[in-house]
Structure 1
């Protein structure tokens, strides 16, 4: 088992000094929501109503770079306005922004209730309050291209999946196992060479940097939002928001259509139960690494597209779910779990604006999809294939609304299937264990008012996995659930400008 203790703060400090050089300006594609790929200093096209990150609420940093690469409290930018910030605190907010101080405050509530299937029907309701601040050190103290970002988060409530349905894939993205107020991210960022190099790091999560697109969180299912990353999240290969550890990432964008990034992060799941202020490395089990290359269309392309190809590795030991150290079934022979040396995987993801409704550039139809897979059979999940479509302005009279449909096929690891079969047989069950499951969501995003969105949705799971309840005698029947997400961006409502 690889361990990194005192070396982690030193490595993080080095990464902080290096990574700040790679931040790239955002080039949101004219889709809703837009992606966050770099533009190498070129001004982005006009934002769609769902893309708050593209709103020119404040002037850009004098270096020509921005803070689009830092760990955000909410990956998706679901709010936008092309007009200046307005609200009761707009004058104060603009005054603070002129001095380099920006605030964020979002509230998200997610309800989900099943009417059939699973290990039982029921309801769950959870909410999250991510908030934080961004400090532009250029404006504050004259350090060009430098930023400090701090994100806090509290998540509370109940889970339809954990409490009733008994499925590993949650119907509510904002539900977290640990209900506490925690420091989610504390990052230093430095942009160099006019934004062609960005370095960011500190107390951060790998999946806030890698395989990212604002598209995913138009959906409520955890099979898609925040990342379509069921494999690395469920397998504990890569950390995710709000569970930050020491680490950092460097991103280099030599052209407007290409970038490459790499990161190293501490692997320490013992910190998940803390408030995020435990900065020790006592529970470290190794390190996580990730590499990604990205290609994208030129900034002003009529049909923007993005392609991400990445790989990841975690050096932490992994216990076999089925075999013991003698390579015998643990359920029958008992004994300690057979330990494996780490895990690795990769992904290919992309999106493209296929066409525009009524020929209107502000009403794009975006098609997205890809695959993500693990190289190891002893993990809970082996792979995921995803495909979806989002239409912005599905009705001419509702230009800010969205209509989305997404589906995933998620395959279990072969050792996990062996374990589930043995556990069911021991409990007296004879139902077969399915090799994989399908997760689907259809939703409609309603732009209610400035800073307020409501997303009713229907979710359907075919062949649920039963991972949280391995001794269930019967295989779960297909799950039909109805959900509702309410998102309120208090910063927008109050008139606080967003950091660019």
Structure 2
């Protein structure tokens, strides 16, 4: 039996971990400013930016009204930078799915970055927080198609919620940084910069469908720590540990204020390689990553005695597995760059590939990719066009369980196999900080080939989804 002393030790573990982090950051010379230790660092600056470049702001298009009373400039001079982002869209399907119709969805985000060196003289410290106000009139993915793959990457349970809230300490030469607090994984792990133009580009279904509550990704975050090492501009290494279950966004963690600490952990690691544009002017990157969740997971086919869960003699209690894991690769490559164009102009492509054990995961293989053309429309240098695909395969045990249900005749069931989607989109840059984006997606085998509740014995029909998104950034 577990003693009360052991329970108390477990309860004190998170507090001890946080205290150790603060102690380490405050005394380790590697994290100190060179001037504080008296050492002279004669190495050249060689680190890549810790944060991606921010998108253009509509502030530049508003003239004197862009910064009333100079409030934003005043804060920026003290190391406080804030951004407002409003995304709204209309999406609808004219055919396929269990029903047809349109929805409106919107997300308003406030994000604040703080440079504590400029604000308070804390060398190497920075902070970040963002809050979402999510509003929609019904999720198209669930209402119309019962899809596994995301229709819109802003779709979430309507709520006002905290997302991230963290502090970060960087070493004097910025080659090392440690971030801790309320974190999401999809901001730094398993992501493609090229693919972010697409509405369906999101935290991949292989993690969203397999991990508890979808894992630490939009719109829910969870306490964690992330260590990043960037010795030079060509390589980075990241490792992070998260509380492994952020809680269901609609019922358990509706405001993002749960700060759960007692769930089994999720550990992620990624190595990033970047090719600095050479004589051809083309940039490329490769990311290799893996993750391990240390919780318990049900088998998708067998019970604890080895019988199929579809067998009438089965007790219905699924076999339990210790943990789950996955591996992935992400490639971004610029294929063509027009003469005089910048690093984002031209033709670029991306691909992501991932696999997970097929006995305990609904999705065991994931692949997506696409091509994006930017700055090549005559008279429209900021416009972009993209075409992408996504493929998600149902795990082998889940597929065989469907066949078992047919074999045992427990009920008529359509065996699942895969779900796929293609998307075409065009991004109009109306002005700096404002884009309008018409979009079309076609869904194949929605739900992995799930049965249509309106047509017993038949699969749900695929169909086209039309959308129009507007994004304002300030």
Which band: TM-score by shorter chain?
Answer: 0.7 to 0.9
Alpha-carbon distance in structure 2 between the residues aligned to 1:87 and 1:473: 63
Aligned counterparts, 1:204-223, within 5 A: 204-221=183-200
Indicate how the Cα distance of structure 1 residues 271 and 248 shifts in structure 2: closer, same or farther if over 3 A, else same.
farther
Let me know the Cα RMSD of the aligned residues: 3.1
- What is the rounded CA distance, in whole Å, between the counterparts of 1:210 and 1:17 in structure 2? 27
Counterpart in 1 of 2:92?
A: 113
2:420 to 433, 438, 451: 438
Does the alignment pair 1:195 with 2:195? Answer: no
Distance between the aligned counterparts of 2:283 and 2:22, measured in 1?
Answer: 32
Task: Measure, in 2, the Cα distance between the counterparts of 1:85 and 1:296.
Answer: 36
**Bigger Cα displacement from structure 2, 87-96 vs 388-397:** 87-96
Instruction: Report the more deviating stretch, 318-327 or 148-157.
Output: 318-327
1:285-304 counterparts in 2 under 5 A?
285-298=263-276, 302-304=281-283
Kindly indicate whether structure 1 or structure 2 has the higher relative contact order, using CA contacts under 8 Å at least 6 residues apart.
Answer: 1
Query: Which residue of structure 1 aligns with residue 207 of structure 2?
Result: 232
Instruction: Name the CA distance, whole Å, in 2 between partners of 1:213 and 1:100.
Output: 29
Distance (whole Å) between structure 2 residues aligned to residue 470 and residue 288 of structure 1: 35
Alignment of 1:136-215 (within 5 A): 136-157=115-136, 158-176=138-156, 178-215=157-194
Deviation at residue 401 of structure 1 after TM alignment: 0.7
- Alignment partner of 2:459: what SS? coil
Please, which moves more after superposition, 11-20 or 376-385? 11-20
Question: In structure 2, do the counterparts of structure 1 residues 397 and 257 end up closer, same or farther at CA, with 3 Å as the change threshold?
Answer: same
For the 8 Å contact 1:66–1:145, the answer to whether it is kept is: no
User: Aligned pair 1:7/2:13, yes or no?
Assistant: yes
Contact kept in structure 1, 2:304 and 2:318, CA below 8 Å: yes
Q: Is the 8 A contact 1:420 1:470 kept in 2?
A: no
Aligned to 1:72: none
Aligned counterpart, 2:41:
none
Structure showing greater radius of gyration is 2
Look up the SS of the partner of 1:117 in the other structure: coil
* Aligned counterpart in structure 1 of residue 433 of structure 2, from 440, 448, 451: 451
Please name the residue that 1:262 is paired with: 239
SS at match of 2:208: helix
Matches within 5 A, 1:5-44: 5-12=11-18, 14=20, 41=45
Task: After superposing the two structures, state which structure 1 stretch, 179-188 or 203-212, moved more.
Answer: 203-212
Q: Which residue of 2 aligns with 1:479?
A: 463
Secondary structure of 2:376's counterpart equals: coil
Aligned to 1:88: 65
Name which of structure 1's ranges 265-274 and 151-160 shifts more when overlaid on structure 2: 265-274
CA distance in 2, matches of 1:407, 1:381: 17
Q: Which residue of 2 aligns with 1:406?
A: 388
Matched residue of 1:213: which SS?
coil
Shift of 1:464: 2.0
Equivalenced residue count is: 437
Q: How does 1:310-325 map to 2 (within 5 A)?
A: 310-325=289-304
Structure 2 portions without partners, runs of 5+? 1-6, 32-43
- CA distance, structure 1, for counterparts of residue 23 and residue 332 of structure 2: 33
* Matched position secondary structure for 1:129: strand
Structure-1 separation of matches of 2:461 and 2:387: 22
Cα 1:303–1:67 change in 2 (3 A) is closer
Summarize deviations over 1:271-300 as a string: whole Å, max 9, x none. 63321222353xx33000011111101267
Q: CA deviation at 1:313?
A: 0.4
Q: Residues 412-440 of structure 1, C-alpha deviation per residue, up to 9 Å, x if partnerless?
A: 11122234445678685464x34222211
Matched, 1:342 2:323: yes
Is the 1:67–1:147 Cα contact (8 Å) retained in structure 2? no
Segment drifting more, 455-464 vs 81-90: 81-90
Take 1:469 and 1:328, find their aligned partners in 2: how far apart are those partners? 25
Q: TM-score, normalised by structure 1?
A: 0.79
Per-residue deviation at 1:119? 3.0
* 1:461-480 correspondence to structure 2 within 5 Å: 461-466=443-448, 473-480=457-464
Post-superposition offset of 1:322 = 3.0
Inter-partner Cα distance in structure 2 for 1:173 and 1:180: 16
Indicate how the Cα distance of structure 1 residues 193 and 219 shifts in structure 2: closer, same or farther if over 3 A, else same: same
What residue is the counterpart of 2:37 in the other structure?
none
> CA 1:347/1:280 → structure 2, altered by over 3 Å: closer, same or farther?
closer
Alignment equivalent of 1:418, drawn from 400, 418, 422: 400
Unaligned runs of 5+ in 1: 24-39, 43-63, 70-75, 492-500
Q: Distance in 1 between matches of 2:298 and 2:413?
A: 26
Structure-1 separation of matches of 2:231 and 2:450: 45
The answer to whether the 8 Å contact 1:295/1:306 transfers is: yes
Query: Would the alpha carbon gap of residues 468 and 317 (structure 1) be closer, same or farther in structure 2, given more than 3 Å must change?
Result: farther
TM-score, normalised by the number of residues in structure 2: 0.83
- Asked whether the 8 Å contact 1:344–1:376 carries over to 2, the reply is no
Offset of 1:328 from its aligned partner?
2.3
Q: Secondary structure at the match of 1:390?
A: strand
Tell me, what secondary structure is at the counterpart of 2:206?
A: helix
Question: C-alpha displacement at 1:316, in angstroms?
Answer: 1.1
Distance 2:121 2:324 in 1: 43
Q: 1:243 is matched with which residue: 190, 200, 220?
A: 220
How many Å apart are 1:9 and its aligned residue? Answer: 4.2
Q: Which moved more, 1:4-13 or 1:158-167?
A: 4-13
Quote the Cα distance in structure 2 between the aligned partners of 1:198 and 1:251: 5
